Amino acid sequence: MSMIVRRLSRAATAGLVAAAALTAAAHSAEAADTLGSAAVGQGRYFGTAVAASHLGESDYAATLDREFSSVTPENEMKWDATEPSRGSFTFTSADRIVDHAQSQGMDVRGHTLVWHSQLPSWVSPLGAQDLRTAMNAHINGLMGHYKGEIHSWDVVNEAFQDGGSGARRSSPFQDKLGDGFIEEAFRTARAADPAAKLCYNDYNTDGVNAKSNAVYDMVKDFKSRGVPIDCVGFQSHFNSNSPVPSDYRHNLQRFADLGVDVQITELDIEGSGSAQAADYTKMVEACLAVSRCTGMTVWGVTDKYSWRSGGTPLLFDGDYNEKPAYGAVLSALGGSGGPGDPGDPGDPGDGASCTATYTRTADWSSGYNGQVTITAGAEPISSWTATVTLPAQQSVSSLWNGTPTWSGNVMTVRPSWNGTLAAGASTSFGFTAAKNGSDAAPTVGTCTAS
């Protein structure tokens, strides 16, 4: 029997996906006394933007590794960094971040594929048809390199104008390709890495206003027409000119109600002391109150490297000391008490459990697609393992949203990016099987969780 599971591009050579999944489980099983582990207890990730150039600084790396469960390359995956001349991709800095994250069991957010800013100079002069070709080639090149390694991609960033009009922002893409460039980018992205969540990301869309209404209308239209969008990112850069909106949570919820996940993607709040801490608390509470808010990312580890360093907007000061905002976030995430706290997945003897159910989601004469849904029991979980036994003749040609190992015709599947689940929450993995003359259903064994 030939069992050909398509392994994943960059990671395939190093076997990093499987390693990362295993490390992630270990990472998240610690007591909930860090941001990442406390967020895991809530079924969320807690991430930070990272600059490759700082990874060699020991305090930076130590704080990053200890506290965060997801990273977003701050600049290293942008178009100017990855395709500075046409068709010639460079991934050195971005790879450094992804490799570091995987070695620590952290997930990676991809930022960003199509954006008017940080574009190399060769892009803007292209004519419409050439620009379309270049845009799709860029998406394919970047997503292809990281296929299977990115939990969510900012496919299009900041395509709407500020101000009250709700109009699209002028950019080479908008001006030459029209409104349809966003849809085209999402369709290309889905084909390039079907396992990645595809997000639209923007700022000043954090409350209900003309800009967020325009994004809302676009997402609603995409959902109604089957354009592949999975999530909306709310950058959430706040200061006294742009304070935390009082309807922040309501705004997240109305997007979630359209059937997309929501993520807080670039959080920073200028200020200090208890006022800053109180605003951070509101952010965490808003995300936890919206079940489709899957995680949050702060835009940097330490104030000293923030793009708004003068405003000291982050959770650690320039000496990596925890600020009051840090304690507020940890406490809002239910952390800090360590073992014995409700929701701490590291407690010995806690009742981590899961169930696995199988459905056939597509069927044709020579093959079918199967889906296995994993549902956490009464406690949050940080990892799961499910076994699927195939009829002897059948073979699996691809599998997504899971990491398989094989023994004969028994496939043991562990999470790729989707190990952490809140109590009662579900995720699923899917696979394509060739029937080879047998139309029988596979059997799904016991699901185990930690």
Site residues, ligand 9MR (CB under 6 A) = 74-75, 117-118, 157, 203, 235, 266, 307
Of 30 and 76, the one with the shorter C-beta distance to ligand 9MR is 76
Of 89 and 307, the one with the shorter C-beta distance to ligand 9MR is 307
Check residue 54 and report its DSSP letter.
G
Contact 320, 63 (CB under 8 A): yes
How far apart CA 375 and CA 363 sit, in angstroms, is 24
Of 60 and 203, the one with the shorter C-beta distance to ligand 9MR is 203
Of 103 and 117, the one with the shorter C-beta distance to ligand 9MR is 117
User: Is position 30 annotated as part of the catalytic site?
Assistant: no
Q: Please, what is the minimum distance in Å from the beta carbon of residue 106 to ligand 9MR?
A: 19
For 41, 146, 339, the CA distances from 192, given in Å and listed in that order, are 32, 10, 42
Torsion of CA 12, 14, 15, 20, to 10 degrees: -120
Q: Please, what is the minimum distance in Å from the beta carbon of residue 297 to ligand 9MR?
A: 11
Check residue 445 and report its DSSP letter.
-
Q: Please, what is the minimum distance in Å from the beta carbon of residue 398 to ligand 9MR?
A: 32
Catalytically annotated residue among 30, 74, 158, 270? 158
Q: Please, what is the minimum distance in Å from the beta carbon of residue 99 to ligand 9MR?
A: 21
User: Is position 266 annotated as part of the catalytic site?
Assistant: yes
Dihedral sign computed on CA atoms, order 106, 375, 10, 73: negative
Q: Is 226 left (phi over 0), alpha (psi -120 to 50) or beta?
A: left
Of 90 and 443, the one with the shorter C-beta distance to ligand 9MR is 90
Long-range contacts of 188-192 (CB under 8 A, 24+ apart): 188/135, 188/136, 188/139, 188/140, 189/113, 189/139, 189/143, 189/153, 189/155, 189/228, 190/228, 192/139, 192/140, 192/143, 192/144, 192/147
Catalytically annotated residue among 74, 76, 83, 266? 266
Amino acid at 244: V
Q: Please, what is the minimum distance in Å from the beta carbon of residue 235 to ligand 9MR?
A: 5
Of 80 and 95, the one with the shorter C-beta distance to ligand 9MR is 80
How far apart CA 27 and CA 45 sit, in angstroms, is 12
Token representation of residue 387: 């076994």
How far apart CA 193 and CA 131 sit, in angstroms, is 21
Amino acid at 343: G
Q: Please, what is the minimum distance in Å from the beta carbon of residue 321 to ligand 9MR?
A: 22
Amino acid at 393: Q
Closest residue to ligand 9MR using C-beta atoms: 307
Of 90 and 117, the one with the shorter C-beta distance to ligand 9MR is 117
How far apart CA 317 and CA 310 sit, in angstroms, is 11
Token representation of residue 260: 């997309």
Q: Please, what is the minimum distance in Å from the beta carbon of residue 117 to ligand 9MR?
A: 5
Catalytic residues: 158, 266
